[in-house]
Structure 1
Amino acid sequence: MINPDIRTVNVVQYIKPLREGGSLPAIVEADDGFLYVLKFRGAGQGKSALIAEFLGGELARAIGLKVPELVFMNLDDSFSQTEPDEEIQDLLKFSVGLNLGLHFLSGAITYDPLVSEIDGITASKIVLLDSLISNIDRTHKNTNLLQWHTETWVIDNGASFYFHHNWPTWKNHLTRTFPLIKNHVLLAKASHLLEAAKKIKEILNQDTVEAIVSKIPEDWLTNEKETITPNDKRAAYITYLDAKISMIDTLAKEAQDER
């Protein structure tokens, strides 16, 4: 189900960086008393990666997958002033404002395709989700999945929607399939692709897609270096997702053929 309200919290303590992540996310505490993995707007791919992370997470949640709660996180400029590490100091400085947080799953372990268990319908849903959002980063090298309380949780969707790094050509992607699905870590276990495709089509109707896209913060859609407006970007994400959902049977066949 769609989360009706994405909460907004304030960062009150920077705890530690997660250096295994290329964008240097961090564990932080918020003013609600919970710990979160904070994804920074000032990191490599900037606000576009936050949008991809947000859309991918909420679409995954909508189709019944396990996703840590996503929250918008306000970061003020006080943290950079007390951080001794220059790299982290710069990251904090460039990330003042609204960022994205994922609820920290304490004790979770990285999904291991050799030993972790996952059922065929869940694996199929994840494979098709990543086909829909063009996620290039859920491979054996980097699974971006967690095992927590014997369940598989979807995290780290920031490498999705890569068309939004070159807005002038975004329409070229509307009819493309996703051949890179051949590298997906769960492809071998995705034994119910046609069933999963049917379920996803039933859930991800236009109203659902529009409701999720409408939650993207206006600030994340604003870029002075681009001529495309925030409203046009929002419309583009909706058009893109509608196009991909309409061809989900083709995407399912592509994944099935790669299996």
Structure 2
Amino acid sequence: MIRYDVTDAVTTITLDRPDAMNSLTVEVKAALLEALRRAAADETIRAVLLTGSGRAFCAGQDLREHAENLEAGRGLAGTVREHYNPIVELITTMAKPVIAAVNGVAAGAGASLAFACDLRLASERAKFAMAFSGIGLAPDSGASWTLQRLVGPARATELLILGEPLDAARALELGVVSRVVPADELLKTAHELAVRLAQGPTQAYAATKRAIAYAATHSLTDSLEVEARLQDSLAATGDHLNATRAFLSKKAPVFTGK
């Protein structure tokens, strides 16, 4: 259902329902949220890698479970507010970098999970499908917020309304992903990137996430003030002091996240 593995200060969280294309049931969503909370709270974890098993990253909501809820008159059964929203908020606000390794199909809420991550690497077999309109729904799981910040409002509107899939090459062209690699190299490449980030100035990464999120909805004047506050706090860290000393000594800095 969910695999949680730790190597080199990196947690790899794997959606593990390959026979169902890693679609999201209530049980899976609860387990994913718990895994993300565990990673966020663990000070020894400095980067998070999210991926899927088998041929899909995540096909989104499990439609069999959803259909049962509809037939029983339960509608969405509160899953957007109770499950998807907390998952996406945690990914986007976590004080450590989160990387999506998109190994295959990422559809609906599955695509939204990838969009919420800080960085996205894709297999050449990856495909993104904003499937909401195809079943008479609007986007959820933050897609209306994240996708337009990746590709712009006009392109996001097109993708969300038409629901036409993006292959890996087109996703790279539009800026949805930052890199496309051969399928058999994806996890290795993504883990190497995660380790690189885990060895970096993680407090600075967290502050960068905060600054970008704030600036997206505030004025330049307000954003400048937030940047100043964040810089003041980072200037007091051991990582900044040690990195400055290392630079002056022409040595490579060693970051501890403190």
Q: TM-score, normalised by structure 2?
A: 0.28
- Select the structure of larger CA radius of gyration: 2
State TM-score, norm by structure 1.
0.27
Q: Relative contact order: is structure 1 or structure 2 higher (C-alpha 8 Å, sep ≥ 6)?
A: 1
Greater percentage in helix? 2
